[in-house]
Structure formats: C-alpha cells, structure tokens
C-alpha cells in the first residue's frame, strides 16, 4: 500500500484520450541520424526533400505524445497510413516559418501531396483523433506564433490530397478528450489572458460540417501560470478537467471543470472574488490519484493547530488529498509532507484536529504532538521523525529507533514516545504511515 501511494505521488492525472493509430516515427535521436535507404522513414523523408528541398529544418512538438517531425497515421480512414511532416524554410523576411506537409502513397510510392504554412515559429503539441462518432480523424496542431504570445490551434482534416482547415483558435493549453462523456472526444481549450487576469475553459464538439461550443466557463486567471491541465475522474466516474495553476512560486490553486447534464460547471471559481480561493494551498503539489483508486485527488492545505497566529513563512500545514463527486468531498489521504527530507507521514484519522506538528529547524526533526486547545500548547509528544545521514545514524544509539527507510547516504527513522492510548503508534503503524516519494 505504502509503496503504491509513494509511487503515485508524482503521477499526474491520467489523461484519458487516445490517439487512434498514431505512429510517431523519427524520434529526436532518429532525426539526428539520417534514416537508412530502403526503409519507410527514408522514403517519407525523401518525399519531403523532393518537395521542399534538402535544406529544410525538421520540427517536432515540444509537448504531448507525438514528438516527431513525421507522424504516421491513417488520416482519411481508408485503411492506409499517411504521414504528417513539420519543417521550416527561411522566408523572404528571414523568418523560418513552419509548414505542415502531408505525404501520401501514390502508385506505391511516397509523395508530398499538400502543404500549408502555419505562421508559427514552433510546434507546441500535435494530436490526431476522430472528434465525432463516424468522422474522419482531425489533425490538431498547436502552434507557437511569431506575432503573438498566445498559441494558436488549427484543426485540419485530410481527404483526397487536400488539407481542410476546420477551426483556428488562440489557446494557452489544449486537450483532445471526452469531457462530455459521449463516447468520442471533444476539443478542450484553456485561454489565459494574463493582461486582464482572466481565463476561460471552452469545450468544442467538432462535427463533420460544423463546430459547436458545448460550454465555456471562467476559471482563475489571476495566476502566474498554468502548471497542469489534465483530464481526470470525479468519484462518481464522470470525466473532469483538473487545472492546477500557480498563484505564486509557493502557492497553487486547482480549478475543476465538468459537465452537469449539458451545463459546463466551474466548481471552485468564485465569480464575486474573480478568482478561485477554495483550493488555495501553500505548496506546489499537483492533483493526482494519490491513493490509486482511479479517482483524481486534490491536495488541500489545512493549517495545523497552533499555527494560526504565526507569519506566513512559519506556518505549517497538513495536506489533505480529497476526491470530489460534484457535491461532496471524500478524504483520500491526510499527511504531513516534508519536502526537505522527501517523505510524507500519513495522519491516522483520530489525529485529525487533535495532533499538531512541532519541528526543529536545525535537524528538520518533525515531532507529532497532542494539541491542547485549552492551554494553547503542544507538550505531549507521540512520535518524532528524522532523516539522518548514514554516518550520523551509526554513531547514535539507534536501537531505540524504528528504521523506516534507507538509501545510500541517508536513514529515515522514528522514535516512538507515546506507547499507550488512542493516539499512540506502534512499530507497525508508524511504518505503515510513513511514505517516501519524490515529493516536490
Ligand atoms: Ca489513409
Ligand atoms: Ca484517488
């Protein structure tokens, strides 16, 4: 159990889109080495050179799954793959504008069949997926423009040697996923206007003949940037968009967007305040399935007892990961996350609101103590946790300690102080509550 949770710590929410029959060929390493003659990649690349010349520079997307200059996929649903290529050649203004080139098989050989300029200096992300029940795949190209700080997404379909533009929109982040739960994917955009401190999430259904805006909702735009934009799951199984945004270098919020019937909802955004406050936390943790049950959990921060009157940089928080079903939360895991020493300690449920943390700055020892609200004090110690250097650990009388974890240079260990009562932990329980992961 512990190991599973630890491994889940950095696991970003599963993005449940699938790229139908996409096959990226020509990885970064492959692109640095000319492909051997006789192979399909060689023939595809030669077809591009025959069209655009040998001096072209190849480009590939900076994010997403399709990070290749040549993406092979069946673009027109005829059962045979075509290839999408990205390249640039310097134009009259000296700008190396990226082009999209489609390479198809004609009479058994690879030939460039169409080409379009993008006005882009870079490719952010490429997805190829059908966006309607029976529709042909849509090629979604997210491009970084010369002329604007905003990215621009273009949707294309390919048929009989022609590339048809279906849509062009500015965006900050995009996803191709089934947020509406209809069995096929939609285009989900996030637009952050940093000048106006506003942001909007939009969901488009892209049909064979026209596109429909299924919903648009405000989310927090009073942010320094969007850190993660992922599809995940609510407790009732519904798909939802989890948007983790940085408020500052040490604080974050999560916006949650999902469909309630046909209405798109922005769960946490406060229209009156103009921002999202419900999920504000003083850490940089991102939403994740922390307990591995398939639902996405949001890391909330709860001030530990006794820290109410201290300054912001002295405050200590319990992190409570919660899943949501559209109405109520369920706690998945509550724990003290010690970023300096790379572990977390899960609070047993009887500890919640009863136990606080006292820490020693010089050794970074975390001591968990019963909180006495009447006397405003935390004198009764339950357990203390510390990360020692391996040499230091050998020098101390460590037979009184419970060794929790060890690596090449360090040992994590606990000293059990309280031995009786409902708040006390034994060796087995303290080991069970300890989780190590590459937490940030
Ligand atoms: Ca085809
Ligand atoms: Ca979960």
Ligand 2 midpoint to CA 5 (Å): 10
Mean pLDDT of 278-299: 92
Residues 138-195 pLDDT 10s: 999 999 998 777 899 999 999 999 999 999 999 999 999 999 999 999 999 999 999 9
Q: Give the pLDDT band of residue 37 (cuts 50, 70, 90).
A: low
Residues 348-403 pLDDT 10s: 999 999 999 999 989 999 999 999 999 999 989 999 999 999 999 999 988 889 99
Ligand showing the shortest atom-to-Cα distance for residue 5:
2
Residues 6+ apart with CB under 8 A from 150: 170, 171, 172, 191
**Does the global pTM surpass 0.95?**
no
Strands (DSSP E) found in 305-393 = 317-324, 329-338, 343-346, 355-360, 365-370, 381-389
Ligand showing the shortest atom-to-Cα distance for residue 295:
2
Ligand 2 midpoint to CA 337 (Å): 17
Residues 239-249 pLDDT 10s: 999 999 999 98
Ligand 2 midpoint to CA 276 (Å): 22
- Alpha-carbon gap, residue 172 to 176, rounded angstroms: 14
Number of helical H runs and strand E runs in the chain: 5, 29
CA dihedral over 416, 421, 423, 429, signed as positive or negative:
positive
Ligand 2 midpoint to CA 331 (Å): 9
Residues 337-346 pLDDT 10s: 888 898 999 9
Ligand 1 midpoint to CA 106 (Å): 11
For residue 15, pLDDT over 60 is answered with: no
First to last CA, the chain: 21
Q: Give the pLDDT band of residue 23 (cuts 50, 70, 90).
A: low
Say how many C-beta atoms besides its own lie within 10 A of residue 251's C-beta: 15
- Alpha-carbon gap, residue 436 to 345, rounded angstroms: 9
In SS3 terms, 380-433 reads as CEEEEEEEEEHHHHHHCCHHHCEEEEECCCEEEEEEECCCCCCCCCCHHHHHHH
Cβ pair 255, 307 in contact under 8 A: no
Cβ pair 97, 119 in contact under 8 A: yes
pLDDT for the residue 127: 97
- DSSP class of residue 32 equals H
Residues 6+ apart with CB under 8 A from 315: 282, 303, 307
Q: Give the pLDDT band of residue 13 (cuts 50, 70, 90).
A: very low
Ligand showing the shortest atom-to-Cα distance for residue 105:
1
Say how many C-beta atoms besides its own lie within 10 A of residue 82's C-beta: 20
pLDDT for the residue 421: 95
């Amino acid at each position: 159990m512990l190991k599973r949770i630890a491994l889940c710590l950095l696991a970003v929410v599963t993005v449940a889109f699938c790229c139908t029959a996409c096959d990226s060929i020509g990885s970064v390493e492959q692109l640095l080495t000319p492909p051997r003659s006789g192979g399909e990649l060689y023939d595809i690349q030669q077809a591009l050179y025959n069209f655009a010349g040998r001096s072209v520079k190849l480009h590939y997307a900076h994010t997403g799954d399709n990070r290749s200059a040549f993406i092979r996929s069946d673009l027109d649903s005829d059962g045979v793959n075509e290839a999408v290529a990205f390249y640039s050649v310097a134009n009259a203004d000296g700008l190396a504008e990226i082009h999209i080139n489609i390479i198809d098989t004609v009479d058994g050989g690879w030939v460039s069949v169409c080409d379009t300029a993008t006005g882009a200096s870079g490719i952010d992300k490429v997805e190829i997926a059908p966006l309607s029940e029976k529709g042909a795949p849509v090629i979604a190209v997210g491009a970084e423009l010369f002329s604007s700080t905003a990215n621009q997404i273009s949707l294309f379909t390919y048929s009989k040697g022609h590339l048809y533009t279906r849509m062009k929109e500015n965006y900050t982040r995009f996803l191709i996923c089934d947020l509406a739960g209809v069995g096929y994917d939609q285009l989900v955009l996030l637009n952050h206007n940093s000048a106006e401190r506003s942001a909007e999430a939009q969901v488009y259904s892209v049909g064979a003949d026209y596109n429909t805006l299924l919903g648009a909702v405000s989310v927090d735009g009073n942010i320094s940037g969007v850190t993660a934009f992922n599809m995940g799951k609510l407790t009732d199984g519904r798909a939802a968009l989890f948007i983790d945004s940085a408020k500052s270098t040490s604080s974050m919020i999560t916006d949650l967007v999902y469909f309630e019937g046909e209405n798109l909802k922005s769960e946490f955004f406060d229209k009156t305040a103009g921002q999202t406050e419900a999920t504000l936390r003083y850490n940089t943790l991102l939403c994740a399935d922390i307990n591995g049950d398939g639902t996405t959990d949001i890391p909330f921060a709860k001030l530990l007892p006794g820290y109410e009157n201290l300054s912001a940089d002295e405050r200590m928080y319990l992190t409570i990961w919660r899943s949501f079903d559209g109405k109520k939360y369920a706690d998945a895991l509550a724990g003290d996350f010690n970023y300096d020493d790379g572990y977390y300690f899960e609070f047993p449920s009887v500890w919640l609101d009863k136990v606080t943390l006292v820490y020693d700055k010089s050794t970074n020892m975390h001591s968990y103590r019963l909180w006495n609200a009447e006397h405003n004090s935390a004198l009764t110690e339950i357990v203390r946790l510390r990360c020692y250097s391996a040499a230091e650990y050998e020098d101390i009388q460590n037979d009184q300690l419970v060794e929790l974890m060890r690596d090449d240079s360090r040992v994590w260990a606990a000293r059990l102080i309280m031995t009786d009562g409902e708040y006390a932990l034994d060796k087995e329980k303290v080991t069970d509550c300890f989780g190590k992961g590459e937490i940030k």
